[in-house]
Amino acid sequence: MKYDIEFRGSYALLKIFIGPGESAKVEPGAMVYMKGPVEVQTSTGGVWKALKRAILGGESFFMNTYVSHGNGEVGVAPELPGDIDVVPLNQTLFVQSTSFLASDTSVDIDVSFGGFKSFFSGEGIFLLKLQGYGDVAISSFGGIKLIELQPGEQMTIDTGHVVAFDGSVNYSVRTFGGLKSTIFGGEGLVCTFTGPGRVYIQTRNYPAFVEWIKSLVPRETGSR
């Protein structure tokens, strides 16, 4: 998958260039434009996996594959304002569901149980599990930053800022500090990652942003 990223930062756009006979897997609803002899094929990728993606991972039941019969181009962008990065996949990558954008068709997409406290970015307790070899395009809310952890090296990250991490990375989720810190300190759940491997984080917290928007909406008192 050849690509180019324009407008990096808050409003990134991913351009995917696909030659004759090549194809790319794209998140439904992410297409901005396409040009050239490009055909869109919609499939489930397996009914059981599609059901898990839809029910457990909050993803679409279907997946779009763009197949080019010549030299084609597809422009894609995420729903949230933020950056895009293309990650070389080597075996396994875990991604929060709102951050998957596109991938090579050789990449298998499944859902993985993350534990009873592992609700990254408020998306529940399941993560997308990408396996295989190829390129994966991920998006962030705000800027995206790569952290490379060495063997045994640890880092604690607010769960609302986690985008993706390698399958080689161990992680555990806990509350931030004690009960007082969790309730009054403005922090919720944090995740401690232990290397080796890559961890991708985002500079803005989507669930916190949603809660802030809710706080601005007038509440009905029941009286007229």
Q: Give a three-class secondary structure readout of 149-211.
A: ECCCCEEEEEHHHEEEEECCCEEEEEECCCHHHHHHCCCCEEEEEECCEEEEEECCCHHHHHH
pTM of the model: 0.81
pLDDT of residue 121: 42
Give the tokens for residue 131. 């396996």
Q: What is the DSSP letter of 220?
A: P
Phi first, then psi: give them for residue 71, nearest 5 degrees.
-100, 110
Does domain 2-216 bear CATH number 3.40.190.10? no
Residue that has been written with the tokens 């489930």 in this structure: 44
Q: What is the pLDDT of residue 123?
A: 42
> What is the reported pLDDT for 185?
44
H-type alpha helices, the chain: 47-55, 179-184, 206-216
Structure tokens at 154: 């640890």
**Amino acid letter for position 209:** F
pLDDT value of residue 119: 44
Between CA 120 and CA 127 the distance in angstroms is 8
pLDDT, position 117: 41
Enumerate the β-bridge partners of residue 34: 74
**Domain locations along the chain:** 2-216
- What is the reported pLDDT for 160? 87
Give 10-residue mean pLDDT values along the chain (224 residues).
90 96 93 96 61 49 86 95 95 90 92 53 65 96 96 94 95 71 57 96 85 81 56
Query: Do 137 and 85 contact (CB within 8 A), yes or no?
Result: yes
